[in-house]
Structure 1
Amino acid sequence: MEVTRKNFRECLPLINESIKKADFLVIDAEFTGIINGRDVTMFDSPQEYYITLLKGSTDFLLIQYGLCAFYWNETEKHYMNDAYNFYLFPRGRPGPEKIFLCQSSSLDFLSSQGFDFNKLIKEGISYMTEPAETRLRENLTERQKSYVSGNNNIPIPDENKQQIEDICKRVRVFLNEKKADSMEIDRCNAFIRRLLFQELGNRFKKEVFVEAKIAENKSRVLKVSRIKSEAEGRNKDSEKKEKEWEEVEEAVGFSKVARMISQSQKLVIGHNMLLDVIHTLNHFFQPLPADYPAFKEFAHLSNITVGKSSPDLSRVRQGSGGKPATARASPQQSRARSSSVSSPPEPPPRKRTSSGVFQVDELEPPPKKPELTRSKPEEPAPERPLAAISNGRRKAHAATAEDGDRCRDNPDYVLHLCQIPLRSVEPFR
């Protein structure tokens, strides 16, 4: 399902339901660039790897987020999923302005894959970090309190007095003529609008209602509406406050989904996902720490307070198509998993015969890695165990390709093929 600003509010309950019922979640993200400066290398230490990505990638923007919630269907005996594709674009007003970098190769790649940049900018869902959201909510609360108290008046500078007086005279003429229900005041900067809110509220408090409005050309104007009764004035004040809070909720936007993932404590899976993790935490939660140990601690935090925990992140080397995964393993399951991981690998897949049994030639164990000595500089390295296992599975796949029709006609047989043991699940480090 594609989710944009237009349908985000309606889709939010559905997304929340999908996350809650999921056995595990899969994420993927797209950015305006990958890295700025030196790229990471296989010789970098974890600290160097993290610092390089932190300095070189956090100035890019996260513009698309894919979320797939997998859950087990007991009736059908297989996994099903709810997939969502979010267009993300943080916009100012009321949220903070976002300045970011772009990388030409990344944009070119996205364009070649059919990415819609017009939709991104026009319909992208906004987001912000938790500190930015806290500041925004506090500022709005204080501003709305000032509506009632009226104790935040500021003196009008001499150079602006004549302009304010001229506009107030226009409003008086508008009220006396009684030809229209509203009028607009344009060509005002933010400071002049602030002064007009103050002066019009003081001089015509029970006669007009003043609110800011964004015109078609994206400029901000003031709309002055005639108040016909005291009750109408109170209703307009309530509607104004509700609208301001709705704008805040829209500005928080996709951060709500990220925090749903965090609070669910479900297993989160991704391919080569360190960049996804860095951007997820940096854009939706908190600014990232400058050292790797603090980052690891931050990435594994959970249940500090509601809405302020980071996702339960894991890498999965091999998936499991058999039994549903659980978000948290019991102590017995943890011990069994530890024993499974530390034990020798299971026999390789077997080839299907006429009796329905698989059989392939046993794989020979790879030779031990030779010691590197000066006397044998040209000695080739042995085949890696992972490559040997991969070759064996490739043989098994080729052997079963000829019998594909029988696989499709026998669901139990297909289910047996899918029951690959979970050989290695380790926490994100």
Structure 2
Amino acid sequence: MTLVVTCFLSLVLSAAVAEETSTHWPLPQAKPEDVGLRGDVLSKIRSRMEQFVADKEIAGAVTLLARGGKIVHSEAVGWADLDAKTPMQKDSLFQIASMTKPITATGLMILVDRGKVGLDDPVAKYLPEFADVKVNGRPPEKPLLVRHLLTHTSGLTGSQRTEATLAETVAKLARDGLTFEPGERWAYSPGLTVCGRIIEVVTGQSYEEFLRREIFQPLRMKDTTFVPTAEQRSRLARAYQRTPEGNLVPGGGAIWLIEDAGVRAPNPSGGLYSTAADLARFYQMVLNGGELEGTRILSSEAVAVMTRVHTGDLVTGFTPGNGWGLGWCVVREPQGVTRMLSPGTFGHGGAFGTQGWIDPQRKMIFILLVQRTNFPNSDASPVREAFQELAVAALTD
């Protein structure tokens, strides 16, 4: 009898675990009209994305909009794999590339919240290899601070790919030195990779395990990972590049992980895979001031610090009018591709044309997931501009 009961309980627990594993955890949904948006305008996003697919600008796309904590638009168009004729799905998995950076920054800010890391601490306090770092061959006039890593004002240079371990990667970055005095100017850099190593040193955990325990599991981001499972790989959107003749051919796909699994460390500057639903949960947590559905990831003070401009009047980013927060691009003066966004909107893009924006004034989240490797400027792509334009045009308040 005991054996029967034990087996039954085991089956029940297994079923519960299976249900938990397979459950999709999006945000609640709402009709656009219930949150101040016109559904007829939002419906044009799909047809516009389909036109980009027909014009061979992209193979496919997943778009998602949320307002007031509720999803009002979620669409998948085109193909995840052109050759196999695999349709894009809402839960298709994407390489989000540099959209990883704000997530790494969030991990570090968790430690700032706990008093284990200080933004104005010298990096060498945690990573002794930076004690003798040089600026173009000479000692720096002022120390390299943790803050500089998060704002791309460190002067670090070098590849954003990782070596076999983060420790080896960061040691090499320290040896390569700085190209300018910390804080002197802005230059996109692997500073967030160094942040990943600081997380390891301070916590004694691997960087990826810390993110899993502190962010992905609490937020139920079940499809956000550095190492996709076989099932997740079956949903992977393939990356394409556009030829001069106007055709899409495979190119640049899985550049950080799938062929490197077990060879290279997870990349804190750009190695994550994720889905629109998972990213929506992460962004909503940030928009809520660090909390989602009763689970607090960051203090509201930490979120406020992260999402304000820390770079003063320095020229930053890849489109005009932006400043830089701690891991986030912040729109200072909307113009060009950001002209329809509110001042103070913050977000990040990725090398394959992906983009996420959080507009606190309008309480809106914009997520665009595509996999095109050779936009002339992925931060100012026509796909991104059209998506944002239609989303904002739908506002009624």
Global fold match (TM > 0.5)? no
Q: TM-score range by the shorter chain?
A: under 0.3
- TM-score under structure 2 normalisation? 0.19
Structure number having the greater helix percentage: 1
- TM-score under structure 1 normalisation? 0.18
Structure of greater Rg: 1
Question: Which fold has the larger relative contact order, with Cα–Cα distance below 8 Å and residues 6 or more apart in sequence?
Answer: 2
